[in-house]
Structure 1
Amino acid sequence: MTARGRRLAPYPRRIAELGLLRIDDADLAAAHLTLLTVTDVNQQTFYGAVPLSQEEVSRLVTAHSASVSGAFSAVAALTANSS
């Protein structure tokens, strides 16, 4: 687990505690969230070799975060409706 994953793990854990999403492993969920939000930046910069503006990094991470949040919301809604 990376330091970033350890810092993020409390958030999916709290979401699960609130009953908004079923998460069996908060550390793994944090790692997946990190991969989903930063992979595009890493690939576009060739892992930091080619610079991206801070605005572009923010745009990409924000867009991916919104996509992940939307997916989590959809899963939560489906989960709530199937109970």
Structure 2
Amino acid sequence: MDIATAAKIGAGLAAIGAGLAAIGVGTIFGMYLQGALRNPEADAKMGGRLIFGFAVTEALGLIAAVVALALAFS
């Protein structure tokens, strides 16, 4: 296996990380809505954690996408 083929396989595996980040964001917002609907008073406390969790998950997805593109075009 040459280096170009290995890079393309690595790019495909890194692209999976970007897709999994989308699943993570959906899970974060789904769990937030479940908690907010069960206990509306705790909504204000969970808002900051929601935004932080979304930002970290989305950043990891973007990093995976950048790595995939870097491997695919190098």
Give the TM-score normalised by structure 2: 0.47
Higher helix share: 2
Give the TM-score normalised by structure 1: 0.43
RCO comparison, higher one (Cα < 8 Å, 6+): 2
